[in-house]
Amino acid sequence: MNASTPTALMEIPTATGTLHGTLEIPANARHLIVFAHGLTSSNLSPRNRLVARALLRQGFAVMLPDLTAGAVGSAAPAPRDDRERILLTAKHLVVIIDWLTANPATCGLRIGLFGASTGAAAAMIAAALRPGQVHAVVSRGGRPDLADDLLAEVQAPTLMLVGSNDKAGIVHNRSAGAKMRCKPMLELIHGAGHLFGEPGKLEQVASFSSLWFHSTLRHCA
């Protein structure tokens, strides 16, 4: 993804199979951002990869895991609905967070999560389940409201980025924020829709995300 930073292909064992992803760690990186894509996307999402490249240029380590394809070699039954699929995505994300925390190459890096679409719900669930390991969250065009009751358990500072033209997204994110004890910041990207496909809007997402992660992760314990 970045010619100056070697890309490592990761294989992370789970109880039922193996998760895959890519990991890039720039020299002198202090923070690591793990991306959580939506149910209809993958770790090859061009939108997430654009944001990841921007964060790499700012000195962040980034991991782009494949969360929803199912762990390779898994014999577990396929999830029956979107709720179960989001919970499975969150479970995979927790496995990755635990692995990164124990891995010698990444254990010293502060972890932030970047969730897009339904991946934002998985990121919120993972943050609630791992409050000591997840120190910041960004949701891009997300559905954090789908994390339901676990929203109240999220302790990490959270930034919700929503396009100003995404009226349903604004409602969903305000609904999620109302359930959180650690109140998030809701930032509307003027002129953007749900996918931030308008010229320059994803670059604004990357800029807001970089500022958020820099300001929150550097102050965490």
Question: Is residue 3 very low, low, confident or very high in pLDDT (cuts 50, 70, 90)?
Answer: very low
The set of residues, in sequence order, having a beta carbon less than 8 Å from that of 167 and lying 6+ positions away, is none
Task: For residue range 131-185, list pLDDT tens digits in order.
Answer: 999 999 999 999 999 999 999 999 999 999 999 999 999 999 999 999 999 999 9
Instruction: State how far the Cα of 184 lies from the Cα of 160, in Å rounded to an integer.
Output: 7
pLDDT of residue 71: 47
Query: Would you state the pLDDT for residue 34?
Result: 98
d(CA 105, CA 103): 6
The reported pLDDT for the residue numbered 46 is: 87
Domains, the chain, with CATH or none:
7-70+84-217 (3.40.50.1820)
Tell me phi and psi for residue 127, to 5 degrees: -65, -40
Helix (H, G, I), strand (E, B) or coil at 63: strand
pLDDT of residue 38: 83
Task: Read off the pLDDT of residues 17-73 as tens digits, 9 standing for 90 and up.
Answer: 899 999 999 999 999 999 999 887 767 788 999 999 999 999 999 999 998 655 444
The pLDDT of residue 132 is 96
Label residue 82 by pLDDT band (50, 70, 90): confident
Mean local confidence (pLDDT), 114-143: 97
Q: Tell which wins on pLDDT, 9 or 196.
A: 196
